[in-house]
A and B are shown apart, each in its own frame.
Chain A
Amino acid sequence: MSRVLTEHSIDHVVLERGEVANSWRHERWDSLRLLTPNWLSRLPGYAYEGPDPDGFMNLPQVVNFIAGFAAETSAPVRTQTTVTSVRSTEDGYQVATDRGELRCRSLVLATGASNSPRVPDLHRAVPPTVQCLTTFSYRNPDQLPPGGVLIVGAAATGVQLADEIHRSGRPVTLCVGEHVRLPRSYRGRDILWWMESSGVWNQRYDQIEDLERARRLPSPQLVGTPEHSTLDLNFLSDAGIEIVGKLAAVRDGRALFSGGLANQFALADLKMERLLDTFDAWARDTQVGTKVGPAERFAPTRAPSSTRLSLDLGSGEIGTIVWATGYRPDYRWLNVPVVSHKGELRHDGGVITEAPGMYALGLPVLRRRKSTFINGAEADARDLAQHLAGYLAGCGAGKSLSAPAFLRH
């Protein structure tokens, strides 16, 4: 956004509570890699230029990539500056930080949707003998006590941690609710090449039938590894990981799992096939089909004839629970009434219509399906910068200029 505002000659500052790429530096586990291949990890006027375009950046590489972009664009970043409150004023917003106050006419919230782990309330009933970790506190398998590990959630994070922890020699049980199954590669190309090239990823928020659902969708079961391996539930259960249904309750020290697992498998398989059908149709219509491999179909997710419905958390079988149940945004510092009772920002494609001059970036399906991926930032930022420039122009240039702040938490 900063880069695009500079192109519009809009004076601005970027507030960062820590260092550039802070959450990548401090709030993710050690082995994490991007889900997008390097060639696709693009920012405005900035792309990967290393020797491995099909590889996936690890954490230090991501940090270097983002810090390199900030340096190259000379973004006016104020690091180590935490925003403590934002209030409306007559002609804009007053931003309080731990390093003083700023006033601005326009404000972009680029704090994202992943400020803290989302842990379901039922965690309170877990016996204290079981260590609980979240995706913010988990670093690597070495920190885990002996014993089995129950991983709750089967989005990208859950399947990646299940695989990593199981490889460390611990028995792993994975709780699976609604999930999104995707192969890493399809017809010889990376699945995200298909998402990008076919236009699915560019689908706009106002063209999506059930936008609310699209915004709530878990991240796809993908991992970026040098082997380009597919990390689906068949792979995990072949490896020896026990798959159980969604964690529905913890009662009397027992974890109770849903018996509806087979339907979760059926739904995810059907949706994956529908997506692959879309890719095949696009490949046929555009002649791309002659340049890629033949159409493929993948084995259905194997539903066991019966899954475990309960597990005694007091028996010692489980030493650790890892809550891989998603993230939530944190708007406690935002003293402007634009947050729903569920803690979500009300916006129309990133334009916060109830607070003129305020915008959001980096939220799920903000303006496009790819909005939360690195290469999704540019198109959204361009759209919103256009809107923001128009808004500032409409404010009248006579008033003394107050710079728009761009919050990167």
Chain B
Amino acid sequence: MSQVVNNGVNVDALLAAREALRNAPAAGEFTWRASCKWLNGTHARSTVQGFRGLGEEQSHKSEFSFDTDHPEVFASEDKGATPVEVVLVGLASCLTAGVAAVAQNRGIQLRSVEARLEGKMNIAGILGIDGDVRNGYDNIKVTFHVDADASKKDIEALVAQSQKRSAVFDIITNPTNVTVEVV
């Protein structure tokens, strides 16, 4: 690759971080946080700002907030995306960011990347109609359209590697211990 590829990802910084963390594994321990306030009905507002990593408290430049609700077919006021859609948003954005980072690292210039996601769910689970039906998604399908200076095979490898390194893909495909307390 002689021409300079720029997908806007600072791969050198990421690789330097990887090297630094190899020698100081404790700095790699991160804690991500979110808080959520009930507003009314099924409408709630979640915010994120602070997190912990590299051995100290960190902060986003500003607070980000996400309204969630349910659509009118659920007799709600539809003031935001449903939480299950937010999960798809998390997966989509994680895989897409991964595609950009891996492409940069492999010297592949991207022109456009689009992902479409579909999650199949039978709501007989959450409504308690059928105990054999799970609450969550049965199946999630992600379809990528990638326009880049690369062969189809290289693009497939890009998308595969992005899944391999994706936190959200791992969170969704593998079980995680979750503890919920009331204080």
Contact = CB atoms under 8 A, between A and B. Distances in A.
Q: Do A and B bind each other?
A: yes
Interface residues of A, number: 17
Given A263-B169, A274-B157, 4 more contacts: A256-B174, A260-B169, A266-B160, A306-B138
B160 A263 contact: yes
Contacts of A259: 172-174
Contact of B164 (A246, A256, A267, A274): A267
Nearest to A273: B153
Contacts of A245: 173
B interface secondary structure, majority: helix
Closest 5 CB pairs of A and B: A260-B173, A259-B173, A248-B174, A263-B163, A266-B160
A115 interface: no
Interface in A240-297: 245-246, 248-249, 251, 256, 258-260, 263, 266-267, 270, 273-274
B3 interface: no
B170 interface: yes
Interface of B: 138-139, 153, 156-157, 160-161, 163-164, 169-170, 172-175
Nearest to B22: A212
A260 B174 contact: yes
Contact of A266 (B138, B139, B156): B156
Contacts of A305: 139
Contacts of B160: 263, 266-267, 270
B173 A270 contact: no
Contacts of A274: 157
A248 B161 CA distance: 20
A256 B138 CA distance: 15
18 contacts: A248-B174, A249-B175, A256-B174, A258-B174, A259-B172, A259-B173, A259-B174, A260-B163, A260-B170, A260-B173, A266-B156, A267-B160, A267-B161, A270-B153, A270-B157, A273-B153, A274-B157, A306-B139
Contacts of A258: 173-174
A272 to B, nearest CB: 12
Contact of B156 (A248, A249, A251, A270): A270
Interface in A320-359: none
Nearest to A270: B157
